Amino acid sequence: MASPMHILVNDFAIRSFRETADKDYITARMAYRARLIQPFLWSALHCLEKYVKGILVLNRMDAKELGHSVLPGIERMKLHGKFEIELSASTVKFIKGLEEYGAKYRYYEVSYHIEPFDIARLDRAVWELRRYCQPLDFDIVDVNGKTVNLLAHELDRVHRAKAKREKGTCVMGGILETIVEKKDHPAREALIWNNLFFGPSRRQRVKMRPNWEAGNSPFFLHPEIIDEVVKYVHIPKDIAEGVRQFAKQKAAEMAKAEEDAKKGATPAAKQSGKAC
- The neighbour count for residue 195, using CB atoms within 10 Å, is 21
Residue of 174, 205, 193 whose CA lies nearest to 29: 193
What pLDDT sits at residue 203?
80
Average pLDDT over residues 208-228: 87
Q: How far apart are the C-alpha atoms of 55 and 71, rounded to whole Å?
A: 13
Whether residue 94 contacts residue 118, with contact meaning beta carbons closer than 8 Å, is answered with: yes
Q: What is the mean pLDDT of residues 65-85?
A: 89
136 phi and psi angles, rounded to 5 deg? -115, -35
Give 182's pLDDT tier (boundaries 50, 70, 90). very high
Q: What is the pTM of this model?
A: 0.86
Task: Tell me the pLDDT tens digit for each residue of 77-136.
Answer: 888 888 889 999 999 999 999 998 878 888 888 888 888 899 999 999 999 999 999 999
- pLDDT at position 255 is 87
Q: For strand 147-149 and strand 139-141, is the pairing parallel, antiparallel, or unpaired?
A: antiparallel
- Place 276 in a pLDDT band, splitting at 50, 70 and 90: very low
Percentage of residues of the chain with pLDDT beyond 70 = 95
Give residue 132's pLDDT. 96
**Domain map of the chain by residue range?**
5-215, 221-275
If you average pLDDT over residues 156-175, what whole number do you get?
92
* pLDDT number for residue 159: 94
Section 174-201 average pLDDT: 95
What are the tens digits of pLDDT across the range 31-52? 999 999 999 999 999 999 999 9
Least confident of 58-62, 207-211, 217-221, 268-272: 268-272
Rounded to an integer, what distance in angstroms lies between the CA atom of residue 162 and that of residue 225? Answer: 50
The SS3 call for residue 237 is helix
